[in-house]
Amino acid sequence: MSKKEAYIEKLETQLREWSAKIDELEAKADKASADAKIKYEEQIETLKKKGEEGNNKIEELKKASEESWEELKEGAENVWKEITDTFSNVMSKFK
């Protein structure tokens, strides 16, 4: 497995973990009061948008050649940090 493939696999694994957490929040939202449900849904939507950004970045990396993907990796890591921070922030609100 190349460095590129390993890196992409790592990102995909993280996205799957986040997706599972979103599913947990959706289950909590279904059981929450009306006010709490609105808050959950707003946060869930934010997380889903960040997940889409992550998927888009992974697709960009997949399409990159072996020679050029290293250049894209830096940008991907910046986006990934932003996504990670958002997930951490949102999840901490619902502990």
> Can you read off the two tokens belonging to residue 75?
């940008």
Q: Which of 57, 53, 47, 42 lies closest to 18, judged by CA?
A: 47
- Domain of 77, in residue numbers: 3-93
| Helix, strand or coil, per DSSP, at residue 2 | coil
What phi, psi does 70 have (nearest 5°)? -60, -35
pLDDT tens column, 57-78 = 899 989 988 878 888 888 888 8
> How high does pLDDT run on average in the chain?
87
Structurally, the chain folds into a number of domains equal to 1
Measuring CA to CA, how many Å separate 86 from each of 12, 18, 34, 38, 47?
A: 17, 11, 24, 18, 7
Q: What is the pLDDT of residue 6?
A: 92
**Cα 44 to Cα 47: distance, rounded to the nearest angstrom:** 5
